[in-house]
Chains A and B, each alone.
Chain A
Amino acid sequence: MRAGLDRKWPMSDIHLHHITKSFGPTPVLRGISLAIDHGEFLTLLGPSGCGKSTLLRILAGLEVQDSGSVRIGEGLVDGLRPKLRDIAMVFQSYALYPHMTVAANMALPLRMRRLKFWQRLPILGRLMPGARQVSVEIDAEVARTAKALGIGHLLSRKPGQLSGGQRQRVAVGRAMVRHPAVFLMDEPLSNLDAKLRVQMRAEIKDLHRRLGVTFVYVTHDQAEAMTLSDRVAVMLDGELIQVAPPQDIYADPDDRRVAEFVGSPKINLLDAIVRERGLADALGISFKILSDAPPGTALALGIRSEAFHLSEGAGVNTLTGAVRLIEHMGSDLFVHLDLAGLDHPLIARLAAERASQIALGQTLHLSVNPDRILVFGQDGKRLRSSGSAETPKVTPIRQFAL
């Protein structure tokens, strides 16, 4: 299993400094700065069109940024062709060459690097001095990598004869075979069915653990981002909104948009006005909040569905409404509640055992503790209290400074 992986993998951290890019008049990246540690698994997470793929392509050298710089390891790579950047990439479509066998697909990056142009010529190349020896080495390395990925028996097949999962492994193999310092992955799992996706997710995680090199992974799927990453970089509209470990992205978002994008069901948001310090009104109900916002401040209160608990009657921090829909999810219940003054239902996640106690149309009281309320300002930025029990986490956005 470890065969083919014992080679020394080079050091490489990545520094992106103020990258901008426009396609025509449309700005796609608005000044992205990001530092990625050597060996880190960083995911660029965002909806389609947010610029994450463009950022990855700039990192790969497939696209040229309008301004800003990219450093991989010791040197700036701006203007360098992909070949010279010591990176490998796995594409969403896998981009396997359909006319070549699996072996030839995997060998291509090695052939392009180790064989001189005249040695690669169709028939004639084989007669060139040294070509044979190198080809034999390449074949051996391909075989070793393929074996490590469990695709050794597929080497003579063509991509068209493989299943989705097998193609994915071949694409990973083609990336792995030449021991790049950085793996770039552009939505590599999105063409697989749900079951296979979960399985390949585990394999990618395992691969990262074994190789120990830097992975930059692009996805719009928050489950992939949460399960795979050391850190997640949430991108919206060409900007990095937050870069943090997955649990912080979920539980401690910096921005209302991050809170809304991550988490399923979607976070409940209530418009509120601060009545007095530490107390805000929403939907005619008073909420104790951990915020220093002065009276009169307009806020949005974000409450995750699992932050609610059932309570006996109305009161502070308690929402009251009629049950509109109950969704049984096995371990959990999703209860949709109609609230007066709210045009969309509130969603609460309750323990499945509660099912017998809740009926459609029934009035429920749901309470939430102040420390489970995420407070966002008018501009969408998170408002944290300075002196509260909750210590505001300094999320490690390592801004790259020259």
Chain B
Amino acid sequence: MAAYALAGPAVLLLFLLFFVPVIAVFVIALTDWQFGAHTFAFVGIANFREVFGDDGFRASLLNTVIYVLIVVPGTVILGLAIAMLIESGRSLRAFYRAIHFLPFMATLAAMAIAWEALLHPTIGLVNQTFSALGLPTANWLRDEVTALPVLAIIGIWQNLGFAMVLFLAGLKSIPRDLYDAAEIDGADLWLDRFRTVTLPMLGPVLMFVVIVVALRAFEAFDTVKVLTKGGPGHASDVLLYTLYRESFEYLRTGYGAAVAVVFLVIVVALTLIQARVMDKRVHYQ
């Protein structure tokens, strides 16, 4: 009985703070309940129909996908490249690792403000450098073509170190013997060794990093809130920002809940894929 006393508080709170709310999200999404109302009626998928019929939401969903499709490859490829560069030598490893990991630690809301100054159309370093080099300048965060890609670059900047650290751990766990064997077998070219040893041995870690970074990219919010507020228009609107705005600024409860359900489905699907893949691929059996 001691067990129930020990686990009880946690289980109770898990229900109160996780399971009741998640059920509530589905219930709210299927009803016409409004915040503060005392009655509600089931309206089936009306909220979802409204959400998917809304150009703003469709733009937001598409933007999120584009954002993820920029951030994931950018983060993974750069993270892997930097991890391999760091691992290829002995000197200054900790130094490089620390610097590249720094953005992942730093409060993103505060760093977004630094990025805003950096991207300022007249006094920002980016435009000053670009015009000095004869490259085109822009009002990066106010231009509907550049706003989302710029946010994605900030996303890469932030998550790069996280991917790098995971890759470093993965690279460390590759037995050195395999590289020796590859050299004896004649894999003299870097690309040959990369293809025979590094990439296949890193396979499971790679899959893992892809999913984890994708999950983080889907949850992008802070930079959008601070830098663009989803604008101009809906040009940089993303799912979580839509969720926040509709639920808490416009108080469209049913709409917000429906967005939350869509978001949840995507995140859970990604996590389950990850669990499946990890189960299968961790060991080459």
Indicate if the CB atoms of B284 and A91 lie closer than 8 Å. no
Query: Known: A98-B284, A158-B284, A158-B285. Is A93-B175 also a contact (CB below 8 A)?
Result: yes
Give Cα distance in the complex from A109 to B180, angstroms: 12
Query: Known: A83-B186, A97-B178, A99-B284. Is A112-B192 also a contact (CB below 8 A)?
Result: yes
List residues 76-130 of chain A with CB under 8 A from any CB of chain B: 81-83, 87-89, 91-93, 95-100, 108-109, 112-113, 117, 120
Q: Which chain B residue has the least Cβ–Cβ distance from A91?
A: B177
- Tell me, yes or no, whether A244 is within 8 Å of chain B by CB: no
Give Cα distance in the complex from A130 to B186, angstroms: 20
Taken residue by residue from 26 to 51, chain A's Cβ proximity to chain B (1 for < 8 Å, 0 otherwise) reads as 00000000000000000000000000
Taken residue by residue from 56 to 85, chain A's Cβ proximity to chain B (1 for < 8 Å, 0 otherwise) reads as 010011100000000000000000011100
Interface of B is mostly: helix
The residue from A92, A108, A159 contacting B185, defined by CB atoms under 8 A apart: A108
Indicate if the CB atoms of A99 and B184 lie closer than 8 Å. no
Residues of B within 8 A of A93 (CB): 175, 177
Indicate if the CB atoms of A98 and B201 lie closer than 8 Å. yes
List residues 139-164 of chain A with CB under 8 A from any CB of chain B: 158-161
Residues of B within 8 A of A99 (CB): 200-201, 203, 284
Give Cα distance in the complex from A253 to B196, angstroms: 46
- Tell me, yes or no, whether B197 is within 8 Å of chain A by CB: yes
Q: Which chain A residue has the least Cβ–Cβ distance from B180?
A: A62
Query: Known: A95-B178, A97-B197, A99-B200. Is A88-B184 also a contact (CB below 8 A)?
Result: yes
Q: Which chain B residue has the least Cβ–Cβ distance from A122?
A: B195
Residues of B within 8 A of A62 (CB): 180, 183-184
List residues 154-197 of chain B with CB under 8 A from any CB of chain A: 175, 177-178, 180-189, 192, 196-197
- Tell me, yes or no, whether B283 is within 8 Å of chain A by CB: yes
Give Cα distance in the complex from A160 to B181, angstroms: 17
Q: How large is the interface on B (under 10, 10 to 19, 20 to 34, 35 or more residues)?
A: 20 to 34
Query: Known: A82-B184, A88-B184, A108-B196. Is A161-B285 also a contact (CB below 8 A)?
Result: yes
- Tell me, yes or no, whether A304 is within 8 Å of chain B by CB: no
The residue from A83, A95, A98 contacting B180, defined by CB atoms under 8 A apart: A95
Task: With both chains docked as a complex, state the minimum distance between the C-beta of A148 and any C-beta of chain B, in angstroms.
Answer: 19
The residue from A95, A112, A117 contacting B175, defined by CB atoms under 8 A apart: A95
Indicate if the CB atoms of A95 and B187 lie closer than 8 Å. no
Residues of B within 8 A of A158 (CB): 284-285
Give Cα distance in the complex from A159 to B200, angstroms: 14
Residues of A within 8 A of B284 (CB): 98-99, 158-160
Query: Known: A99-B284, A117-B189. Is A89-B184 also a contact (CB below 8 A)?
Result: yes
Indicate if the CB atoms of A97 and B196 lie closer than 8 Å. yes
- Tell me, yes or no, whether A174 is within 8 Å of chain B by CB: yes
Task: With both chains docked as a complex, state the minimum distance between the C-beta of A212 and any C-beta of chain B, in angstroms.
Answer: 21
Residues of B within 8 A of A87 (CB): 184
Indicate if the CB atoms of A89 and B285 lie closer than 8 Å. no
Taken residue by residue from 326 to 355, chain A's Cβ proximity to chain B (1 for < 8 Å, 0 otherwise) reads as 000000000000000000000000000000
Indicate if the CB atoms of A95 and B186 lie closer than 8 Å. no
Residues of A within 8 A of B182 (CB): 97, 108
Task: With both chains docked as a complex, state the minimum distance between the C-beta of A125 and any C-beta of chain B, in angstroms.
Answer: 11
| A-B pairs with lowest CB-CB distance, top 6 | A112-B186, A95-B181, A95-B177, A83-B186, A99-B200, A109-B185
Interface residues of A (CB under 8 A from B): 57, 60-62, 81-83, 87-89, 91-93, 95-100, 108-109, 112-113, 117, 120, 158-161, 174
Interface residues of B (CB under 8 A from A): 175, 177-178, 180-189, 192, 196-197, 200-201, 203, 283-285
The 17 listed contacts between A and B (C-beta, < 8 Å) are A83-B188, A89-B181, A91-B180, A93-B175, A95-B175, A95-B178, A95-B180, A95-B181, A97-B178, A97-B182, A97-B197, A98-B201, A99-B284, A108-B186, A112-B185, A158-B284, A160-B285
User: In the complex, given contacts A61-B183, A99-B284, what are 7 additional A-B residue pairs having Cβ atoms less than 8 angstroms apart?
Assistant: A82-B183, A82-B184, A83-B188, A95-B180, A98-B201, A108-B185, A108-B187
